[in-house]
Amino acid sequence: MAGILDTVDQRTQLVGENRLELLMFRLAGRQLFAINVFKVQEVLQLPKLTLMPHRHRHVCGVVNLRGKTLPVIDLSQAIGMRPVVPGPDSTIIVTEYNRSIQAFLVGSVDRIVNMNWEAILPPPGSAGRQHYLTAISKVDEQLVEIIDVEKVLAEIVPYSAKVSREKLEDPLLELARGREVLLVDDSSVAVSQLRETLSQLGVKMHVASDGLKALNMLKAWADTGQVMTDKLLMIFTDAEMPEMDGYRLTTEIRNDPRLRSLYVVLHTSLSGSFNESMVKKVGCDNFLSKFQPDKLVDVVRQRLMLDQVPA
């Protein structure tokens, strides 16, 4: 168990190559599930679990891990399956999403696989757990379901998309009203948050559920002869998406003379210096951790300020 994440330090080599590493695990049955290794801090045996009064029904309790108190979430129950009963031999996956750290109780951990994003596909409309999936894939002929962890966490701790009054009173933001932006994300929760926040600025929004769809959309607009920096104020893209990730999307944008001047913001649930360094590597203009409405507006303001600089 201790060695299962030994390859995590190599993950920066995958950025811009449209590849990812998935940590596969099982919950209350034989079905394989997965999350991106980028989000995983460690995998370990469940420490002593402390029950808390008035906890959310999907939270088993809390654990103390190196001086930090972390909630333990029954991931199986959270996505509508039968609960995993915690015991001394139980396994938890410690993750970081949106500047918060939490542990997910799982049935067992399988292994880490290195894959190409082109092999990661949107879930079919008939998928029973589609509500909690961002994608599916196959490993050794077995179906692997990739969980929309952002949705799970948003149901436990609801996010706010409301922008503070003092931010909205900035007269520079009037220049955003009526402008168009492109939102690229496979998580319905993340798209909803972006829509709710940006609607307060009066912008018009286009949405693509993965990088490939976004790239095709951009090229189709460019093919009509439109000046893309006039067409779009900016692009917000997630990092992890089926078929083409946000890093590769940015690389493709920079390689197309018609698109390369577009302002691209990496909008991701993974915070920290890793993404900041990767933003520079692939050529994004800005980086923003998700579910921060005031900071989202700050990024829009930074983009608008570029238009105020004399040529």
Q: What is the predicted pLDDT for the residue at 53?
A: 87
CB atoms within 10 A of CB 175: 17
Find residue 142's DSSP bridge partners: 139
Asked whether 203 and 179 are in contact (CB, 8 A), the reply is yes
Res 304: pLDDT: 97
Per CATH, is 17-156 categorized as 2.40.50.180? yes
Can you give the residue ranges of every domain in the chain?
Answer: 17-156, 165-308
Q: Hey, is 199 helix, strand or coil?
A: helix
Helix %, strand %, coil % of the chain (to 5): 35, 30, 35
Alpha carbons within 13 angstroms on the beta-carbon side of residue 47 total 17
* pLDDT tens for the chain, residues 1 to 311: 444 454 444 554 555 567 889 999 999 889 999 999 888 999 999 999 998 888 899 999 999 998 899 999 999 999 999 999 998 889 999 998 877 899 999 999 999 999 998 899 988 765 555 688 989 999 999 999 999 998 999 999 888 899 999 999 999 999 999 999 999 999 888 999 999 999 999 999 999 999 999 999 999 999 999 999 999 999 999 988 888 999 899 999 999 999 999 999 999 887 555 556 667 777 899 989 888 999 999 999 999 999 987 65
Q: Which residues, including other chains, have CB under 8 Å from residue 141's CB and lie 6 or more apart?
A: none
**pLDDT score recorded for residue 7:** 45
What is the structure's pLDDT at 277?
A: 67
Nearest to 263 by CA among 187, 167, 176: 176
What is the Cα–Cα distance from 137 to 142, expressed in whole angstroms? Answer: 8
Q: Where are the alpha helices (DSSP H) in 232-272?
A: 246-255
Predicted structure pTM score: 0.84
Q: Under DSSP, is residue 84 helix (H, G, I), strand (E, B) or coil?
A: coil
Residue 24 Ramachandran class (φ > 0 left, ψ -120 to 50 alpha, else beta): beta
Handedness of CA 40, 143, 76, 92 (dihedral sign): negative
CATH node for 165-308:
3.40.50.2300
Q: Which of 82, 79, 47 is nearest to 62 (CA)?
A: 47
pLDDT 10s digits, 39-73: 899 999 999 999 888 889 999 999 999 889 999 99
Helix (H) or strand (E) holding 124: none
- Which residues are registered as beta bridge partners of 136? 121, 145
- Which residue, 162, 190, 158, is CA-closest to 265? 190
Position 48, amino acid: K
Quote the mean pLDDT of the chain.
89
What tens digit of pLDDT does each residue of 190-207 get?
999 999 999 999 999 999
CB 149 within 8 A of CB 35: yes
